[in-house]
Structure 1
């Protein structure tokens, strides 16, 4: 598992001048993105009175990217090593999600997937027991 850097070439933005006007599309590049980010931070600073007021019912979105590297090709991993590469990816994704969410792996899984994951990666569940 390796960290991955995400480089953004440009972001598209849809915006309306007022409630009855039609939305217009535009593309933001590096300089524009920095300016818009500064405007957003200034708005958050003003709304929260420089951190004096709590932002209730708000959310913060984070993107975490990782690259899974295998010593062999996918076919060789399956045929020669008799391993399912999807199980490795699921395991590492669950470890990252459990760490970020600060919650046990079992609570991240749907009941239908829990048994399958427990059989494939029992060490994820044994960490807490």
Structure 2
């Protein structure tokens, strides 16, 4: 469904973005909350998904994944429809399972919630059912 397609991502916030020689996405945030917006996605109804992330962080923080539901009237993201994971300084692997029956098309990843640097080696969304 999605696998390291860095060019398809929109990155917001006070950030610098680049791809290193290994093909990893590097994001340097001068403010808080760098936001990585996925392209509009087509999720299947009644299907669980795995978001597989491998990254390195320069800071201890929190990773948050926001998603919409297809029954929403708008594409607005909310804390209610989000998953949070601790981020430690150094290597991090996150496996986020989303079991919402009717995922909407909008998803966003906030890899850290503060100023810092993140190198994302792997970012995949995989259908499990």
Q: TM-score normalized by structure 1?
A: 0.22
Larger fraction in helix: 1
Bigger RCO of structures 1 and 2 (CA < 8 A, at least 6 apart):
2
Q: TM-score normalized by structure 2?
A: 0.22
Give the structure with higher Rg (CA): 1
